[in-house]
Structure 1
Amino acid sequence: MLKRTLWSTLGILASSLVFTAAPASATDPSPPRSSDRPNIVLIMADDMGFECLGANGSLDYQTPHIDRIAREGLRFEHCYSQPICTPSRVKLMTGQTNKRNYVKFGKLDRKQTTFAQLLKSAGYRTCIAGKWQLGSELDSPQHFGFDESLLWQHTRGRMDNRKRDTRYPNPRLERNGTKEDHNDGEFSSDLFADFLCDFMETNRDQPFLAYYPMALVHCPFCPTPDSEDWDPTSHGSKTYKGQPEHFGDMVAYVDKIVGRIDQKLSDLGIRENTLLVFTGDNGTDKPIVTQTRFGEVVGAKGEMVDAGNHVTCIAKWPGVIQPGRVTSQIIDFSDFLPTMCDAGAAEIPARLPIDGQSFLPVLRGIEGQGRQSMFMWYERNGNPKKAREFARNQRYKLYGDGTFFDIEMDRNEQSPLQSLTDDQKDIQSMLQTKIDSFANIIPPQAR
């Protein structure tokens, strides 16, 4: 069993994957679908750090639905993304370190293979709803394995001709490649949830993957339909950041949508064999300061420090995951692809240099078989000359330049360790070996 740390006591609720198997109806002569071929629903909040959830110690925000899902499932205390959105999405969808395949912000190399393509090849129906930001080609979602899509920031930019952000009230979207403008007081999160729920209902009798990379809670911070100052005639914020005082309402709306999707699975009768994973793509944005049971947390999106990439991961799978479990097993975003393929019996071709490890055994209650450390390589635009890298376990972090931190005692990395104990020397050596194992990979821009 890995040592429990301060972070272990905090818990992380940041990941929402749903794997579902639909039982046969009373009139259906076919046998129930096996639980080893579950449906998969993955929900990922945008810019919502681990400190935003009640189950993780937040004192500022209420997240009753996600907290309940954590009580009914498994909460990971140590899940790590990348510091910002596109790098996280590339790592999540391909199962590879950014050092291997990240080309630039807003782009996924079309030669890459995603979890959607692999699951589709294994017989899954697939859809995506939410924020895309992985290439502006008209066929990008379908090229990367999604049968159906409802997306913001696909071929259309973030702003409209009125210089207003188009992602939240009366949004500007694309449904299966067709432009779709809303002008009747719609809110994008409701449209995305409607789309996913309809997809799940249509495909309830076959294996499906539903991936929801949320637009919430990325700035501009704005009212939601549940806010007192909600304006159904608004066409988006005129400023990039918006108004930070609305951040709490946006967190609450994430919780509401996650609860709605979880309830829809129950209403469809497919909840029992469904793995629901909720996560976040990176830390909270920098204007946001959150009070928690473990102290004040300043948002660190875009940074390598813990608050920039230590994210929530919660998994619920009735009948498979024992309720109320908490694990200190360390995972990172490269692990999601092999885990989903493992659960869905989807073959990963030998030609793919997957860096992730399946955490399906942990979901099933088997501890101690996962990774001992994780590796991160990061530069917003993929420039290898500016990139930084580190390896870490649950407590210690070693950067490529040799700087070594005890994160449990120094969360903001203010005081590098100097005089080391024998145990710390052993951990430092282990983490250096992890960094060295990626040394021969040539980043795309350096090839």
Structure 2
Amino acid sequence: MRYRTIFSLILAMVMMGTSRGEEPVQPPNIILMMADDLGWGDLKSFRPESPIHTPHLDEMAASGITFDRFYAAAPVCSPTRGSCLTGRHPFRYGIYFANTGQLKTEELTLAELLQKQGYKTGHFGKWHLGTLTTTEKDANRGGPKSTEVYSPPWENGFDTCFSTESKVPTWDPMRKPKTGPTKIGWDSLGADEEDAPYGTYYWNERGEKVTDNLDGDDSRVLMDRAVPFVKQAAGEKKPFFAVIWFHTPHLPVVAGPKYAKMYSQYDLHERNYYGCVTAMDDQIGRLRKTLADAGVTDNTMLWFCSDNGPEGNAKSPGSAGDFRGRKRSLYEGGVRVPGILQWPSQVKPGRVTSFPAVTSDYLPTILDTLSVQYAGARPLDGISLLPVLQGTQSERTEPIGFQSRNQVAWTTNRYKLFSGNGGKTLELYDLLNDPSEQNDLSSSHPEIVARLWDEFRQWQSSCQESDQGSDY
């Protein structure tokens, strides 16, 4: 506790200025980057044998701290996204799965809380926490037939938006081939090739459909909006909060000619998957250069993770490493994802931690950094990671709970309780000694199973009470 107090005091002194006449330094800028369906094993900084070139993410990892036990709050996208902004498990507010529910007005988002602290806020990329229009057909659910799930980012605390409801192709995001299969992806279309509208659109903070600068790499398209936002805020010396949620490498994967050529020895699916990830990495490099040119790198918390494990099966190009399961599974491969933080003023480079962290930890960590109290008495599921960043905490004392359809899991610092059938049968794994979940210990440690199941059921009941509106 003493070291944490010292850390907080130093941070406060940096933010306020340490002597009379010294210009106060603004609070840290915050950027939450997230890939879509990127596997734990897709980055060389986590699995060196990965075939994908990601030099900028590798450099970011070397410049900050790498979490090798970083968890998405869910094995699919929408619930995880909710956890990033609320610090709460998505079952507390009805986002049980992808394309289910919407971010409720009563929920407190990071964007709303940071607006009150004087931050400029921006959302760029995939939203997937509600629809963005009630007037025309858009994406999966948008339009007049689903007005009850309308909940765009600009009504949840974001000043500037360049957002889609859901997925788009990772190259030429408004286009798809006029004929032929389109689920997995395709080689990029030429300018004169016949096409059809993909059907998912970008919208701005005024609720207007964006129609310009939408050709080419989708990661570049959205970074073309994020970079000016960062430059303007930095130029005005305003703290900023940017959420940059890439569509890459969610299906359909399409890589531009330059990027596909880098992986020409691979089949269509692989070269487009690998190529679009490298294209995304280039844009992350562009963002990092923007921060450096603006002189705000040191005072910016730059986070990166994925929203869940990789799509498909073991033959698909995305890699979960040696972990069991993939997207939609609560085994490790479905929820353990790459996690990186670069924050030069507070985090020494080259650190690696095995501390279990989860996307729900963003909100309490950021509020703790700013010495801001969370409003209200509603339960949070995340914890502050500041003690981990300062090196004074190495074990997680608050378990991480997971729910997804009939699957449930309860992960402690060492053990994981798992059920694929709503608790009818239970499996127990020692993640410190068996991270691949190959050896079920439930029969040899029934006392641990009973204790963890009781803890999980209490937490599940709390989520159910929240979902019924008791927090509001």
> Does structure 2 conserve the Cα–Cα contact (< 8 Å) formed by 1:66 and 1:255?
yes
Task: Return closer, same or farther for 1:290/1:299 CA change in 2, 3 Å cut-off.
Answer: farther
Is the counterpart of residue 80 in structure 1 residue 71 in structure 2?
yes
> How many equivalent residue pairs?
400
Task: Return closer, same or farther for 1:418/1:334 CA change in 2, 3 Å cut-off.
Answer: closer
**TM-aligned CA deviation for residue 88 of structure 1:** 0.7
> Does structure 2 conserve the Cα–Cα contact (< 8 Å) formed by 1:84 and 1:302?
yes
Provide the residue aligned with 2:129 in structure 1.
134
In 1, the alpha carbon distance for the partners of 2:319 and 2:36 equals 23
1:175-324 aligned within 5 A = 175-176=204-205, 177-182=207-212, 185-204=215-234, 205-224=237-256, 226-228=258-260, 243-287=269-313, 289=315, 300-324=326-350
Task: Return closer, same or farther for 1:416/1:279 CA change in 2, 3 Å cut-off.
Answer: same
Provide the residue aligned with 1:61 in structure 2.
52
In 2, the alpha carbon distance for the partners of 1:415 and 1:370 equals 23
Is the counterpart of residue 109 in structure 1 residue 104 in structure 2?
yes
Task: Return closer, same or farther for 1:30/1:190 CA change in 2, 3 Å cut-off.
Answer: farther
Q: 2:84 aligns with which of 92, 100, 103?
A: 92
Task: Return closer, same or farther for 1:274/1:426 CA change in 2, 3 Å cut-off.
Answer: farther
**TM-aligned CA deviation for residue 151 of structure 1:** 0.9
* TM-score (normalizing by structure 2): 0.75
SS at match of 2:429: strand
SS at match of 2:461: coil
Q: Deviations over 1:150-195 (max 9, x none)?
A: 01227999988969789x9898311222112357733321121121
> Does structure 2 conserve the Cα–Cα contact (< 8 Å) formed by 1:284 and 1:299?
no
Q: Deviations over 1:119-143 (max 9, x none)?
A: 1112111000000111114462121
In 1, the alpha carbon distance for the partners of 2:281 and 2:427 equals 38
Provide the residue aligned with 1:144 in structure 2.
156
**TM-aligned CA deviation for residue 63 of structure 1:** 1.6
In 2, the alpha carbon distance for the partners of 1:23 and 1:287 equals 51
Task: Return closer, same or farther for 1:348/1:444 CA change in 2, 3 Å cut-off.
Answer: closer
**TM-aligned CA deviation for residue 22 of structure 1:** 10
Is the counterpart of residue 118 in structure 1 residue 148 in structure 2?
no
SS at match of 2:253: coil
Provide the residue aligned with 2:410 in structure 1.
391
Q: Deviations over 1:385-436 (max 9, x none)?
A: xx3211113543112523212346655645522553xxx5675455335313
Q: Deviations over 1:83-137 (max 9, x none)?
A: 0000111122111123322345332223222111111112111000000111114
> Does structure 2 conserve the Cα–Cα contact (< 8 Å) formed by 1:244 and 1:287?
no
Read off the aligned partner of 2:118 and give its amino acid letter.
Answer: G
SS at match of 2:84: helix
> Does structure 1 conserve the Cα–Cα contact (< 8 Å) formed by 2:324 and 2:331?
no
Q: Deviations over 1:233-263 (max 9, x none)?
A: xxxxxxxxx8343111122122212121111
Which fold has the larger relative contact order, with Cα–Cα distance below 8 Å and residues 6 or more apart in sequence? 1
User: Which stretches in structure 1 are left out of the alignment for 5+ residues?
Assistant: 1-20, 231-241, 380-386
SS at match of 2:125: strand
In 2, the alpha carbon distance for the partners of 1:293 and 1:136 equals 30
* TM-score (normalizing by structure 1): 0.79
**TM-aligned CA deviation for residue 68 of structure 1:** 1.2
SS at match of 2:302: strand
Task: Return closer, same or farther for 1:254/1:287 CA change in 2, 3 Å cut-off.
Answer: farther
SS at match of 2:354: strand
SS at match of 2:355: strand
SS at match of 1:335: helix
Read off the aligned partner of 2:47 and give its amino acid letter.
Answer: G
User: Which stretches in structure 2 are left out of the alignment for 5+ residues?
Assistant: 1-13, 134-150, 190-196, 263-267
Q: 1:363 aligns with which of 389, 392, 406?
A: 389
In 2, the alpha carbon distance for the partners of 1:270 and 1:331 equals 26
SS at match of 1:243: helix
Task: Return closer, same or farther for 1:319/1:178 CA change in 2, 3 Å cut-off.
Answer: same
